[in-house]
Amino acid sequence: MQLEKTKRALRLPEGSEICLRGWVYRKREIGKKIFIVIRDSEGILQTVIDSGRVSEETFNEALKASIEASIEVCGRTAREPRAPGGVELRVSKVKVWGPSEDFPIKGGEGVDYLLDNRHLWIRSRKLTAVWRIRHTTLSALREYLINNGWWEVSPPILTQAAVEGGATLFKVDFFGKEAYLSQSAQFYLEALIYSLERVWSLTTSFRAERSRTRRHLYEYWHLELEEAWAEMRDSMKVAEELISYAISRVLDERLEELEFLKRDIESLERARKGNFPSITYDEAIELLRKKGVDIKWGEDLGADEERVLTTYFETPFFVTHFPKKIKSFYMKLDPQRPDVVLGFDLLAPEGYGEIIGGSQREDRYEVLLNRIKEEGLDPKEYKWYLDLRRYGSVPHSGFGLGVDRFVMWIAGLDHIRDSIPFPRFRDRLYP
């Protein structure tokens, strides 16, 4: 008999003889019949073991198949309106591969308990749907870049210095020297454009900031890219195409999973079309004041401000030209207005907030050196980074995408922890 997957089995002709391998998702014993709903990587399917039609030995084997036991069942498919999905498997043979002790997750458990049992909870149907959406998202992001002439490179994770400030780095012992886990590959990508011009990397980034929000991880997946000869607007165009392409692929390939998660598709359908609006920081301040928000020019946009701005747009939108005081030293100053930088954020709608941060980089040696000094940083720490402006500097721009946040928005999750199988956040290191 043919080994099948649950999802395919639903579409086979009635009476097909097949075997299924999977895990016991639900089990109901009614008198002389046992209903076992089997779960595999594709979905679920109800199976029936009827004591009148199988040997006593087979029936007893089915009795042993407790929740989450791994089993193999063989039988004949049958249309059955009473079964979920309209098809069930009438079983002739049962084999328990790995029995299961009393499974700790029954339904109704709290957040803390589920996180302590994350290694078991990740097999839930909800999280499985997220993993599938995450896979397609990652695959689409890569595909876009590969098909559009971007070179994938591999920057280091162990680094010597900070990209932005030093307070938020995880320190590790590098044989007696202090080393840090990378919080961004940006500087390394900037170095690599002199060889490959358009480069990207997908790595974990680390931020040792004790965040208490639903949008922060200490260890997160960071897609970064950097392009030579590109101005800020060029980079924004790439961001828009990249995001809308990935959303489009997820809508095409993961509709079932989005529906299972009860995701409202409307917002994604609008985003797949691109054409993200763009406003300047100045315009953002103006819009906020119109809505009665008390904010002065020069103040950073916080969560409350982002929420208000979101009400103006139904797609992701850009905010550009921030005051230089609230942004990093490496962002290029606007030649027309040296009090603002050529930086941009991309904010997702529905309250999901910033998913991309990028900028044109300062490519003039003297200006960059002065900016480093202005920020009270030590130029010696940035020696090699400054060198890049001494040997054939070019205008260049780039950005970083928070992959987990992006997945969180696509899947409509209410917490970033569920966008990744084993989240590192708060004080959680187990499992």
Smallest distance from the beta carbon of 104 to RNA, in angstroms? 6
At 368, which helix (H) or strand (E)? helix 365-374
Candidate list 8, 170, 357, 369; residue touching RNA; CB under 7 A: 357
At 374, which helix (H) or strand (E)? helix 365-374
Residue 186: what are its φ and ψ, rounded to 5°? -50, -50
Residues 44-73 that bind RNA (CB under 7 A): 46, 48, 50-52, 66-67
Q: Which amino acid is at 2?
A: Q
Residue (of 199, 252, 271) closest to 228 by Cα position? 199
Q: Residue 32 or 291: which CB sits closer to RNA?
A: 32
Smallest distance from the beta carbon of 266 to RNA, in angstroms? 22
Smallest distance from the beta carbon of 12 to RNA, in angstroms? 17
Quick count: other Cβ atoms within 10 Å of Cβ 198? 21
11 counts as binding RNA under rule CB under 7 A: no
Candidate list 43, 316, 398, 402; residue touching RNA; CB under 7 A: 402
375 counts as binding RNA under rule CB under 7 A: no
HSE-CB of 275 using CA atoms within 13 angstroms: 5
Q: Which amino acid is at 7?
A: K
Q: How many angstroms separate the CA atoms of 358 and 354, rounded? A: 11
Q: Residue 222 or 371: which CB sits closer to RNA?
A: 222
Q: How many angstroms separate the CA atoms of 91 and 34, rounded? A: 10
Residue (of 35, 248, 15, 48) closest to 143 by Cα position? 248
Residues 272-301 that bind RNA (CB under 7 A): 300
Q: Residue 203 or 267: which CB sits closer to RNA?
A: 203
Candidate list 11, 56, 112, 175; residue touching RNA; CB under 7 A: 112
Of the candidate spans 9-17, 100-108, 267-275, 371-379, the one that interacts with RNA by CB under 7 A turns out to be 100-108
Quick count: other Cβ atoms within 10 Å of Cβ 56? 8
376 counts as binding RNA under rule CB under 7 A: no
Smallest distance from the beta carbon of 182 to RNA, in angstroms? 12
Given its phi and psi angles, is residue 196 left (phi above 0), alpha (psi -120 to 50 degrees) or beta?
A: alpha
Burial class for 156, CB neighbours closer than 10 Å (0-12, 13-18, 19+) = exposed
Q: How many angstroms separate the CA atoms of 146 and 166, rounded? A: 33
Smallest distance from the beta carbon of 147 to RNA, in angstroms? 23
113 counts as binding RNA under rule CB under 7 A: yes
350 counts as binding RNA under rule CB under 7 A: no
- Site size toward RNA (CB under 7 A) is 70
Of the candidate spans 98-106, 118-126, 136-144, 333-341, the one that interacts with RNA by CB under 7 A turns out to be 98-106
Candidate list 31, 176, 335, 376; residue touching RNA; CB under 7 A: 31
Candidate list 17, 35, 135, 191; residue touching RNA; CB under 7 A: 35
- Cα distances (angstroms) measured from residue 70 to each of 17, 21, 24, 39: 20, 7, 7, 9
Residues 181-220 that bind RNA (CB under 7 A): 184, 207, 209-218, 220
Q: Residue 208 or 253: which CB sits closer to RNA?
A: 208
Candidate list 40, 61, 88, 240; residue touching RNA; CB under 7 A: 88
Q: Residue 306 or 334: which CB sits closer to RNA?
A: 306
Q: Residue 355 or 388: which CB sits closer to RNA?
A: 355
Token digits of residue 125? 């149907």
Smallest distance from the beta carbon of 183 to RNA, in angstroms? 8
378 counts as binding RNA under rule CB under 7 A: no
Cβ atoms of 383 and 191 closer than 8 Å: no
Cis status, amide bond into 431, omega within 30 of 0 = yes
User: Which DSSP category does 157 fall into?
Assistant: S
- Cα distances (angstroms) measured from residue 200 to each of 160, 174, 189, 225: 21, 27, 7, 4
Smallest distance from the beta carbon of 418 to RNA, in angstroms? 10
427 counts as binding RNA under rule CB under 7 A: yes
Buried b (16+ CB within 10 A) or exposed e, 270-284: bbbebebeebebeeb
The SS3 call for residue 406 is helix
Quick count: other Cβ atoms within 10 Å of Cβ 381? 14
Question: Which positions lie near RNA, rule CB under 7 A?
Answer: 26, 28-33, 35, 46, 48, 50-52, 66-67, 80, 82-84, 88, 90, 102, 104, 106-113, 115, 164, 168, 184, 207, 209-218, 220, 222, 300, 302-304, 306, 326, 345, 353-357, 400-402, 404-405, 415-416, 426-428
